[in-house]
Amino acid sequence: MTNVVNVKNIEKIYGTKNEKKYKALSDINFEVDSGEFVGIMGASGSGKTTLLNILSTLDKPTSGEVLINNKDVTKLKGNQMADFRAEEIGFIFQDFNLLENLTAYENIALPLSLQGKNSDVINNSVGKIAKKLGLEDILDHYPTELSGGQKQRVASARALVHEPAILFGDEPTGALDSKSARALLETMSKINREDNTSILLVTHDPFSASYCNRILFIKDGQIGQELKRENSSRAEFYQEILDSLGTFAE
Ligand code: ADP
Ligand code: MG
């Protein structure tokens, strides 16, 4: 198996010279194999967003290495970093982050437009991912005309249209009603199974985490334990997660 993500000894300390220092992450080590669907679970303030921002090149660690497809992303600078992010990374956020003055189609096309792809390539790729996510009928709508669930599906299509090495999600179901949340998780699961897309999902919600195949539990900036799904059904895995949270919290 090849690793798509390889995290080595990550430490993150917030606060510059004259400010109070705060250690948000320490001793973080883990790998994500190609095609895995991994969850990172932890309470609010445990360091999930800090970790995901470092993995996705939005922030830098104080020390340590992050290899994505064997490239150390902590060493990338300026344009190199922008290019790497545009080609290798997909990201969905809790609050969708769609551009309000662009249609769904234009939002989804954005990563490819920024890469300077021609309109045939863009048309083809947007059409393919829109079909997969059931968005064909709303491509000419603006975000304000869409429901939360639809917005997050558009955001997911934008995150996947360039076929990134890995899809990162930071609480992507956090702003959705339970029906839309379930639909999004089913879709992520399908994309993982059918297209072998590697996914790293950060959440504090056991139900969301139950869609993953492996879960890393983070507490006070450190990974404390790991849970693998093995042959459990999703419902059984959900119960195992609740049990783990019970012991992990003590
Ligand atoms: P989570 O996503 O799990 O809720 P975060 O990664 O957002 O946690 O935050 C982890 C800890 O780091 C929290 O105590 C938070 O207050 C602190 N923190 C986050 N961002 C900053 C920052 N830019 N400067 C200082 N402290 C921060
Ligand atoms: Mg967070």
Residue for token pair 């003055």: 101
Whose C-alpha lies nearest to ligand 1, atom 15? 45
- We report the CATH number of the domain holding residue 126 as 3.40.50.300
Weakest-pLDDT range from 2-11, 22-31, 241-250: 241-250
- CA dist 64 and 7 (Å) reads 8
Strands (E), the chain: 3-14, 22-33, 37-41, 63-68, 71-72, 89-92, 166-170, 198-203, 214-219, 222-228
Q: Which residue segment(s) compose the domain that 195 sits in?
A: 3-248
Query: Token digits for 70?
Result: 């064997």
Please check the confidence at residue 166 and state whether its pLDDT lies above 70.
yes
User: Rounded to the nearest whole angstrom, what is the distance from the C-alpha of residue 78 to the centroid of ligand 2?
Assistant: 25
Ligand 1 neighbour 44 (Cβ under 6 A): yes
- List, as ranges, residues with CB under 5 A of the ion ligand 2: 48-49
pLDDT confidence bin for 1, thresholds 50/70/90: low
User: Rounded to the nearest whole angstrom, what is the distance from the C-alpha of residue 48 to the centroid of ligand 2?
Assistant: 5
Over residues 203-218, the mean pLDDT reads 96
Please check the confidence at residue 169 and state whether its pLDDT lies above 60.
yes
Report the number of distinct structural domains present in the chain. Answer: 1
Our mutation pick for probing the ligand 1 site, out of 22, 52, 208, counting the most ligand atoms within 8 A of Cβ, is 22
pTM given for the model: 0.94
Ligand nearest to the CA of 43: 1
Question: What's the chain's length in residues?
Answer: 250
pLDDT of residue 139: 98
Point out the ligand 1 atom lying closest to the alpha carbon of residue 47.
6
- CA dist 5 and 167 (Å) reads 11
Ligand nearest to the CA of 55: 1
CB of 214 closer than 8 Å to CB of 190: no
- 32-75 pLDDT, tens per residue? 999 999 999 999 999 999 999 999 999 999 999 999 999 999 99
User: Rounded to the nearest whole angstrom, what is the distance from the C-alpha of residue 16 to the centroid of ligand 1?
Assistant: 15
pLDDT of residue 18: 84
Over residues 165-182, the mean pLDDT reads 95
- CA dist 174 and 8 (Å) reads 29
pLDDT of residue 247: 79
- CA dist 244 and 56 (Å) reads 27
